[in-house]
A and B are shown apart, each in its own frame.
Chain A
Amino acid sequence: MAVETAPAKTTTGQKLHRIHVVVNGAAHDVDVEPRTLLVHFLRENLGMTGTHIGCDTTSCGACTVLLNGRAVKSCTLFAVQVDQASIATVEGLEKDGKLHPIQEGFHQEHGLQCGFCTPGMMMTAVGFLATNPAPTELQIREAISGNLCRCTGYVNIVKSIDYAARKLREPAEGKAPDVR
């Protein structure tokens, strides 16, 4: 006869929840307190500190990750809500030592200065470009309107995302994007 085990609890008696979540393609089964925010889960439980905590008030977008492909603010989401979901963070962009086109864009177009907003900007851009592969400048600006940057004035960020859009549209590999 199977023995029913009591659900895991914290020292204060809070019941823990076992969540199954795939982060950048790797599955994790972790016990979390319901009040654990997704951003804390990523940074503290999984040790993935690429996702930043900026304002912590749903304003700045530094904590942006993809939830089943859609860009969301991970400071305004509980880890228990993403049970069975797929999460993409900045750590998953580079593949086999090769930068993702959005990373290459930020490099080529000087899309960052202090870099604090960059992971969130890039994740927003990746989610956006998946739905709009050939955006106008205005559409790019609208797409990043939930992400704050206090250094660049946004001009080079917009250029970086445009670079990535063009690169992602290229059929062949290794070809440089069109010069505007």
Chain B
Amino acid sequence: MIPASFEYEVATDVAHAIQLLASSGGEAKVLAGGQSLIPLMKFRLAQPASLIDITRIAGLSGIRENGELQIGALIREADLEKNAIIRQRYPIIADTAAVVADPLVRNMATIGGNLAHADPANDHPATMLALRASVVAQGSKGERVIPIDDFFLDTFTTALRPDEILVEIRVPKPAARSGGAYLKLERKVGDFAIVGVAAVVRLDESGKIAAASIGLTNVGLTAIRARNAEEKLRGQAPDDKALAAAGAAAAAESQPVSDLRGPAEYKRDVVRVLTQRAIRKAVARAKGGN
């Protein structure tokens, strides 16, 4: 399959990328790993007039902890998964990177692309919702930090303005006695999720759940938070009864549709089960386990 013709431009730095975007009249697309965009272009579902390749911009693929975790938008999934800071301090992000598509795609795909593409089937959005992350956008009017709850507006639609690019993801430093986990059910390796659940919990000194946040993959127009489930967990001991209540709440507030990955009713039940398992794993990690 051959994409429609387009112009190709290499951005030398962020300012150059913004200038190219601003002058394209909304007809350009940003090219990072290309693992979602290029297939869309081959199917001619996307026919941008030009592509602005941002992968040659230096300094956008680092990971550092500087009060909070700062992840450069251009880091490849394969590097994210192997990063020592991520593996030791943010295992939920390693969980997520490890199940994005397949190992070959992960050698190209970037975390920034996974978020900015805003496919409800992508894995990082739910995890970033659960982690209460924010994304940093740069545009011709400067830089702004967008809380993740305000970022996903609709399927394939984010709060990024036409002349803005996503340059960084910021994740709050993990609180004491907190942990997170991402679980995904897929038909086969490399497929999008039937359902994915990201859970982050913080325990109080007595071992009860002080706060929980839960993100759901591919059961809505965007990745969504399971706020009722979060509410059910607050102040509860993480026992089977509390987890069951949270699972039932998450299932009820999920919005799956029937498609080739299964009927909505089935997916709702998968939400119920995976939510409980993700919370259980997050609690275990909050207690220092794996």
Write the residues of chain A forming the contact surface with B, with a CB cutoff of 8 angstroms: 12, 14-15, 17, 33-35, 37, 40, 56-59, 61, 64, 67, 70-73, 76-78, 80-81, 124, 127-128, 142-143, 145-147
Contact = CB atoms under 8 A, between A and B. Distances in A.
**Majority secondary structure of chain A interface residues (helix, strand, loop or mixed):** mixed
B3 interface: yes
B42 interface: yes
A142 B190 contact: no
Contacts of A67: 107-108
A143 B78 CA distance: 12
Nearest to A84: B56
Contact of A146 (B31, B38, B55, B189): B189
Contacts of A14: 5
A58 B106 CA distance: 12
| Residue with the highest number of chain B CB atoms closer than 10 Å, among A15, A33, A142, A146 | A146
A146 B5 contact: no
B39 A58 contact: yes
A80 B38 CA distance: 13
Contact of A70 (B7, B55, B107, B189): B107
A76 B108 CA distance: 9
B104 A78 contact: no
14 contacts: A15-B7, A33-B5, A56-B1, A57-B1, A58-B105, A70-B107, A71-B104, A73-B104, A73-B108, A76-B39, A78-B34, A81-B34, A146-B102, A147-B104
Interface of B: 1-8, 31, 34-35, 38-39, 41-42, 51, 53, 55, 78, 101-105, 107-108, 189-190
A132 B81 CA distance: 15
B2 A35 contact: yes
Contacts of B107: 67, 70-72, 127
B1 A59 contact: no
B104 A77 contact: no
B52 to A, nearest CB: 12
Contact of A34 (B8, B39, B42, B189): B8
A73 B104 CA distance: 6
B104 A57 contact: no
A78 B142 CA distance: 31
A73 B107 CA distance: 9
Contact of A145 (B3, B53, B108, B189): B189
A41 B56 CA distance: 21
Contacts of A71: 103-104, 107
B42 A146 contact: no
Contacts of A78: 8, 34, 38, 51
Contacts of B34: 76-78, 81
A61 B5 contact: no
A14 B107 CA distance: 30
A117 to B, nearest CB: 13
Contacts of B105: 58, 73, 76, 146
